[in-house]
A and B are shown apart, each in its own frame.
Chain A
Amino acid sequence: EDQVTQSPEALRLQEGESSSLNCSYTVSGLRGLFWYRQDPGKGPEFLFTLYSAGEEKEKERLKATLTKKESFLHITAPKPEDSATYLCAVPDQTGANNLFFGTGTRLTVIP
């Protein structure tokens, strides 16, 4: 069973059009939920870690929130430079030390 599911797969927004990306997870005993940004041909860039339901973190136009079943990445008034793939990940449920990633949401912001 997939531990992390992201939606939508792709999202096109006009510049300034706010929206949210979803990451639902099935792990129990969550040891953190991680958001990364990935530009084409580059490695993932760390954005946020959330540990408990109700927690929120912000960075510029991005705000990440966490509930007991899902996390949202809210993008307020996006700019073209926010175009990227956004990945969420959780520690592997088997107890291993690695992260288990979703397939990402590919965001395109049109000027």
Chain B
Amino acid sequence: DTGVSQDPRHKITKRGQNVTFRCDPISEHNRLYWYRQTLGQGPEFLTYFQNEAQLEKSRLLSDRFSAERPKGSFSTLEIQRTEQGDSAMYLCASRGGGETQYFGPGTRLLVL
């Protein structure tokens, strides 16, 4: 069990560019979550996958955001036409049969 991993750990981009983040969950965890966290706040839910199916999306997930989980393994989160307001820590979490979600180290995005 190597834990949840995320790549890259840091990303600096210019406004209007597209970015993509990757999350590798704990092996055999079939549930995967994306959250966004800004300074001084707790993580806020973005979207949820069970296996390869995207079952829930928050209203925070605008149409510039898209997430995939092909084959129910790793997941990607893409942000198109980035805005300065997208600057945040993007967290991935996975869950197996229990209730507990285990988080990765996060990807810190800065949009200039």
Binding site for B on A (CB under 8 A): 4, 31-32, 34, 36, 41-46, 49, 87, 89, 91-92, 96-104
Contacts and interface: CB of A to CB of B under 8 A. Distances in A.
Given A43-B106, A92-B45, 11 more contacts: A34-B100, A41-B106, A41-B108, A46-B101, A87-B42, A87-B43, A97-B48, A97-B55, A98-B33, A98-B35, A99-B45
Give 7 nearest A-B pairs by CB, closest first: A101-B42, A98-B45, A43-B103, A43-B106, A44-B103, A43-B105, A32-B99
Interface centre among A45, A97, A104 (most CB of B within 10 A): A97
Nearest to B6: A43
Nearest to A41: B108
Interface residues of B, number: 26
Q: Which of B33, B58, B103 has the most CB of A within 10 A?
A: B103
B42 A97 contact: no
Contacts of A49: 99-100
Contacts, number: 60
Contact of B42 (A32, A96, A103): A103
Contacts of B79: none
Nearest to B31: A97
B108 A96 contact: no
Contacts of A87: 42-43
Contacts of A34: 99-101
A97 B106 contact: no
A98 B48 contact: yes
Interface in B24-44: 31, 33, 35, 40-44
B67 interface: no
